[in-house]
Amino acid sequence: MTTNQTIVAQSLAAFIGTYSRFPVAMISGQGCTLTDADGREYLDFLSGIAVCGLGHCHPAVTQAICEQAGRLVHVSNLFHTLPQTELAALLVANSFADKVFFANSGAEANEAAIKLARIASPAGRYEVISLSGSFHGRTLATVAATGQSKFHQGFEPLPQGFVHAPFGDLAALARMINPATCAILCEPLQGESGVRPLAVEYVKGLRQLCDEHDLLLIFDEVQVGMGRTGTLFAYEQLGVTPDIMTLAKAIANGLPLGAMLTRDRLAQAFTPGTHASTFGGNPVACAAGLAVLKTMLAPDFLPQVRERGQYLAARLAEIAARHPALARETRGLGLIQGLVLTEQGLPHGPAIVNSLFEQGVLANFAGNTALRFIPPLIVTTREIDRMIAALDRACQAVGG
């Protein structure tokens, strides 16, 4: 019998323990609902960590994957393929960028961005300034770029050329610019450290600093890109255009795919042999990506994300008002919303997540700061209402 218990026991025995997981095995998914091995259903406000933007097993994505898997799965980047070409062209047509490089993950997309920034900059310029609280991935360079020391511990010495500016302090960042600086790397909204948006004025200031000092502005939109914030890319809402942007997570609704986008002038610094990936731009992943992007570009899709995001934010604000001892405020953009806990509420974050889980609702506690709600972008107001009712009970259960 394959039950949660048997699968979890086998999994714990066989896997290196890098993950602390909920004690269930997920078997199937449909829309915003997941089903575990014991047949229990969950309302998913995590989307596989902002990956399944179109929900689980979206018919257009499933069809694209099945058709492409029956036609061609892999040929390497020694050849052109149709899905990769079409996806790159559609990303370019709908962004600031002229050119795309495909990788397999967010960390790999950021590695490509860092390598491009270095090779495209004058000799002697290699240093990247990123922000404290940021998250950019788990490879050594992206760990070094990540502005949270808990991800560094045990892995020193880290690759050189990365420094971290205090969050939101433009003057402090300006003081860190030196002759070795080549780029500023940031998330328009920090996801992992607790749904922390950067102020529009701050981001405009970053753009200005980059222009004054001839630095490259890199936006890591791995978590917030692909419709999550209610526009296809978060930079559109900030009125600030980066020089390089990275995408991954939701780009192929769960198939491994990352992308690094930039303008022609910079793209020219990458020539045959300077950078590559065996799997990057895999035809099946790109066919899924194409189905995702076409679905998101339908005229009603993004306006609905904005509308649902406003609804979710308003309902979370009600929770904050009903439980003032636990919750301080709600913040976010579109359908990435965080309920920020009070000093007194912080120790209860994990218990609230567990109570939600016991009620069949999936969410998480990001950065030990905010409960993070990142449902599939197709979430309905009824599903939001169900989550809110469970959250209300969870707050009551921990005594708030």
Residues that bind ligand PLP (CB under 6 A): 105-107, 110, 135-137, 187, 191-192, 220, 222-223, 248-249
CB of 248 to ligand PLP, least distance (A): 5
Q: Which is nearer to ligand PLP, 50 or 293 (CB)?
A: 50
- Give the shortest CB-218-to-ligand PLP separation in angstroms: 11
Between CA 261 and CA 242 the distance in angstroms is: 10
Q: Which residue, 48 or 345, is less far from ligand PLP as judged by CB?
A: 48
Q: Is 66 left (phi over 0), alpha (psi -120 to 50) or beta?
A: alpha
The nearest distance, CB 114 to ligand PLP, in angstroms, is 12
Q: Minimal distance in Å, beta carbon 104 to ligand PLP? A: 8
Residue number with CB closer to ligand PLP (165 or 388): 165
Nearest to 242 by CA among 334, 54, 110, 68: 110
To ligand PLP, the closest distance from the beta carbon of 220 in angstroms equals: 5
Nearer of residues 191 and 334 to ligand PLP, judged by Cβ: 191
Residue 79: CB atoms within 10 A of its CB come to 8
Q: Which is nearer to ligand PLP, 305 or 319 (CB)?
A: 305
What is 122-191 written as a DSSP string? PTT--EEEEEBT----SSHHHHHHSB-GGGTTTSPSPPSSEEEEPTT-HHHHHHH--TTEEEEEE-SEES
Give the separation between CA 203 and CA 188, rounded to whole angstroms: 8
Task: Name which of 246, 250, 224 is nearest 58 in CA terms.
Answer: 250
**Least distance to ligand PLP from the beta carbon of 151, Å?**
11
- Is 137 or 332 the residue whose CB approaches ligand PLP more closely? 137
Residue nearest to ligand PLP (CB): 106
CB of 110 to ligand PLP, least distance (A): 6
Task: Give, in degrees to the nearest 5, the angle at Cα 68 between 62 and 74.
Answer: 125
Nearer to ligand PLP, 375 or 400 (CB): 375
Closer residue to ligand PLP in complex, CB, 127/192: 192
Select 127 or 220, whichever has its Cβ closest to ligand PLP.
220
The distance of closest approach from Cβ of residue 368 to ligand PLP in the complex, given in angstroms and rounded to an integer, is 16
Q: Are 379 and 311 in contact (CB under 8 A)?
A: no
**Alpha helix stretches (DSSP H) within the chain:** 4-14, 47-50, 59-71, 82-93, 106-120, 140-145, 170-176, 200-213, 235-238, 264-267, 283-296, 301-322, 349-358, 381-397
Distances (CA, A) of 386 to 21, 134, 391: 24, 31, 9
Distance of alpha carbon 377 from its chain centroid, rounded?
13
Least distance CB 223 / ligand PLP (angstroms): 3
**Distance of alpha carbon 1 from alpha carbon 17, whole angstroms:** 24
Half-sphere CA count of 138, side-chain side, radius 13 A: 3
